[in-house]
Amino acid sequence: MCAAAAVTSLPQCGTRRISARPWFSSIPIRCISSSNANPAVDVDIDVDSARTTGADSSSTSASGGRSSSSFFPKKNQTLELVCESLGFKGKGICKAADTGFVLMCDRALPGERFIGRVSRKKSPYAEVKKLKTIVPHDHMVEAPCQYASYCGGCKTQNLSYEAQIKYKEQQVHDLIVHVGKFDHRDSKFADVIKPIVPCQEQYHYRNKMEFSFGTDKWVPDVKEKNEQGFALGLHAPGFFDKVLDVDKCLLQSEAANKVLAIMQENWRDPNLSLSPYNVHTHFGFLKHLMIRTGRNISNGFPELMVNFVTSSYKPELLEPLVEKITTIPEVVSVMNNVNTSVGNTSVGEQEYTLYGKSAITEMLRGLSFQISANSFFQTNTKQADVLYEIIEECAGLRGDGSEIVLDLFCGTGTIGLTLARRAGHVYGYEVVPEAILDARRNAELNNIHNATFIQGDLNKINDSFGKEFPRPDIIISDPTRPGMHMKLIKYLLKVRAPRLVYVSCNPATCARDLDYLCHGVSEQGLSGCYHLKSITPVDMFPHTPHIECVCLLELA
Q: How many Å apart are CA 499 and CA 529, to the nearest integer?
A: 11
Residue 153 DSSP symbol: S
Measured CA to CA in angstroms, residue 411 lies from 45, 66, 244 at distances of 22, 52, 31
C-alpha torsion angle, residues 552, 208, 385, 466 (rounded to 10): 40
Q: How many Å apart are CA 288 and CA 276, to the nearest integer?
A: 9
Ligand-binding annotation for 539, yes or no, is no
Distance, C-alpha 402 to centroid of its chain: 34
Radius of gyration of the chain (CA): 24
505 is catalytic: yes
Q: Is residue 254 helix, strand or coil?
A: helix
Residues 23, 26, 27, CA angle at the centre, nearest 5°?
100
Between β-strands 125-135 and 113-121, what pairing exists: parallel, antiparallel or unpaired? antiparallel
Closest CA to 289 of 332, 250, 232, 241: 232
Among 145, 151, 394, 505, the active-site one is 505
Closest CA to 514 of 177, 41, 54: 177
Ligand-binding annotation for 378, yes or no, is yes
Q: How many Å apart are CA 516 and CA 500, to the nearest integer?
A: 13
**What are the residues whose beta carbons fall under 8 Å from the beta carbon of 400, sequence distance 6 or more?**
none
Binding positions for S-adenosyl-L-methionine:
378, 409, 430, 478
Binding positions:
378, 409, 430, 478
Residues labelled catalytic: 505
